[in-house]
Amino acid sequence: MFVYLRLLKESFSFAFNALRNNKLRTFLSLLGVTIGIFSIIAVLAAVDSLDKNIKSQLSALDSNTMYLARFSFGPTDVPRWKRQQFDKVNYNEYNYLKDNLSGAEHVAYQLFVRPESVRYESEVVSNVNTVVVSHQFADIQTLEFSKGRFYNEAESNSGKPVIVIGDEIANSLFGDLEPIGKRIRLYGQKFTVIGVVKKEGSGLFGDSNDVSVFLPANFVRNRYGDNNRNINNIVIIKPKPDADIAELKAEVTQMMRNRRGLKPNEIDTFFISVISGLKDAIDGIIGSMNFIGWMISLFSLLVGGFGIANIMFVSVKERTNLIGIQKSLGAKNRFILFQFLFEAVILAVVGGIVGLIMVWLGTFAADGLTEDFDFVLSPKNMLIGFTISSIIGLISGVIPARRASRLDPVEAIRTGM
């Protein structure tokens, strides 16, 4: 055992000295591996970060929450021209479902409208995300308030001009003033502020509650009617905790078919999208991004590996005379083999470590520049990078090392002279 340890130590020492004496060659070899490892870990970190932030945005909703609409939130076999013929989900259908669904805990009605400008005295905020919903929305999506409250059922049903605003909207319009009770102008009418949503940070899809305002759906219905073609309507359904999701979806489907008088041979003229299905779709996209990133990064590593192998062949050629002398003095084949293998592995591992440091510095800098997007550099990804760099070095050094170890000492000395 002691002999083998000494052999490893001497092989490592020879490899290290060879690298130290050829600094430019070492640098060029490190550069290829560093870029490859940096590419792989950066892609893994970016995809993990994106996945984490998307799931964080969806965590405010129950994964079984359903969306009933004339359009689908995911892929569908129904052609676009056919979907455009479907009727919108209207307010009467919302009331019908709300009063009759047995497996639903909350049912809310939402209108999708274009962004609007809000004004308080001389202060104006443009392109505000306008969330037009019934009062149950606050029970379906978790909303925390720094001040005030959400509008109640009576205010929602009557379409009372009350409004809940996001943290950034409150700061932009009122500054240090107390916002509750103030009246802001929207849709050419004044709304009374009754609540301010607690600051939550930017949304991944640009729809953060910080830059949103919430107002009763019936206010917009009373103003624009139910058949405005510029407004899309959806019904949001939150199941009871013990509800069977498949049964609830079937119940909604049957009720809607009966309500619309669809015949057995006719397709559904609506879509029911479930949040869990959206998460599955996101997982599929993340998986595809990971695969594409791996393919791109592996090409970079391939270049780095060939770079190490090429430089190792050059190193063998330059040191042929030394190899012959070592063998003539009794050096075993495995000593020569380990000497060059260690040289290749050291190059790859050091390159991998430099790549990891670069990713860590990049992650640290990105975290400082973006307050609301968390970048993830997990120990798992770091271990993957370190392992891959070691394997690349081992594979790249095997053929040159075997060639060096099998040189005939007499021929090696003669060739090197």
Burial class (CB in 10 A: 0-12, 13-18, 19+), 99: exposed
Find out whether 185 and 126 touch, Cβ atoms under 8 Å: no
More confident residue, 285 or 383: 383
Tell me the C-alpha distance between 133 and 159, whole Å. Answer: 10
Question: Which DSSP helix (H) or strand (E) runs through 105?
Answer: strand 104-112
| pLDDT in the model for residue 103 | 86
> What is the rounded end-to-end Cα distance, in angstroms, of the chain?
36
Alpha carbon distance 249, 410 (integer Å): 82
* In contact, 351 and 338? CB cutoff 8 Å: no
Mean pLDDT (whole number) for 375-384: 70
Is 4's pLDDT higher than 60?
A: no
Asked if 315 and 340 count as a contact pair (C-beta separation under 8 A), the reply is: yes
Average pLDDT over every residue of 89-101:
91
pLDDT at 261 over 50: yes
What is the average pLDDT score of the chain?
Answer: 77
Statement: residue 205 has pLDDT above 50: no
Provide the phi-psi class of 169: left if phi over 0, else alpha when psi is between -120 and 50, else beta: alpha
Q: How far apart are CA 164 and CA 158, in angstroms?
A: 16
Cα–Cα distance between 177 and 55 in angstroms, integer? 35
The pLDDT-based confidence of 35 (bands split at 50, 70, 90) is confident
Mean pLDDT of the region 396-404 = 74
CA-closest candidate to residue 125, choices 204, 200, 212 = 212
pLDDT at 371 over 60: no
Q: According to the 3-state scheme, what is the secondary structure of 285-341? A: HHHHHHHHHHHHHHHHHHHHHHHHHHHHHHHHHHCHHHHHHHHHCCCCHHHHHHHHH
Please give the full DSSP string across 352-386, using - where no structure is assigned: HHHHHHHHHHHHHHHHHH-SS------HHHHHHHH
The pLDDT value given to residue 297: 65
* Between residues 153 and 18, the one the model is more confident about: 153
Give the span between the Cα atoms of 368 and 351, in whole angstroms: 26
Q: How far apart are CA 246 and CA 394, in angstroms?
A: 53
- What's the CA gap between 118 and 389, in Å, rounded? 55
Residue 12's pLDDT band, with cuts at 50, 70 and 90, is low
pLDDT at 7 over 70: no
Q: Answer yes or no: is pLDDT of 199 > 80.
A: yes
Share of the chain above pLDDT 90, in %: 17
Q: Is the dihedral of CA 92, 97, 99, 105 positive or negative?
A: negative
Main-chain dihedrals φ then ψ at residue 301, nearest 5 degrees:
-65, -35
What is the DSSP secondary-structure string of 206-272?
S--GGGEEEEEHHHHHHHH-S--TT-EEEEEEEE-TT--HHHHHHHHHHHHHHHHT--TTSPPSSEE
* Most confident region among 87-91, 106-110, 270-274 by mean pLDDT: 106-110
Is pLDDT above 70 for 279? no
Q: What value does the mean pLDDT take over residues 235-264?
A: 89
pLDDT value at residue 3: 47
% pLDDT > 70, the chain: 69
Check if the beta carbon of residue 226 is closer than 8 Å to that of residue 196: no
Q: What mean pLDDT do residues 68-88 have?
A: 81
pLDDT for the residue numbered 301: 66
Q: What is the pLDDT of residue 192?
A: 93
Q: 401 falls in which pLDDT band (50, 70, 90)? A: confident
Distances (CA, A) of 397 to 11, 301, 322, 344: 14, 14, 18, 5
Q: Which of 55-69, 110-124, 153-167, 237-251 has the highest mean pLDDT?
A: 153-167
Q: How far apart are CA 404 and CA 336, in angstroms?
A: 7
Across 334-360, average pLDDT: 73
Query: What residues contact residue 119 under an 8 Å CB cut-off, 6+ apart?
Result: 125, 173, 184, 185, 186
pLDDT digits (tens, 9 = 90+) for 150-190: 999 999 999 999 999 999 899 989 888 899 999 999 888 89
Residue 216: the pLDDT is 94
Exposure b/e, 292-318, CB count within 10 A at least 16 = b: ebbeebeebbeebbebbbebbeebbee
Task: Return the pLDDT at 395.
Answer: 76
CB neighbour list of residue 407: distance below 8 Å, 6 or more residues apart: 320, 323, 324, 327, 336
- For residue 398, the one-letter residue type is V
Residue bearing the bigger pLDDT, 18 or 186: 186
Q: How confident is the model at residue 204 (pLDDT cuts 50, 70, 90)?
A: very low
pLDDT (average), residues 106-134: 89
Question: What tokens does 218 get?
Answer: 């019936």
Other CB atoms within 10 A of residue 82 CB: 12
Cα–Cα dist 17/133, whole Å: 72
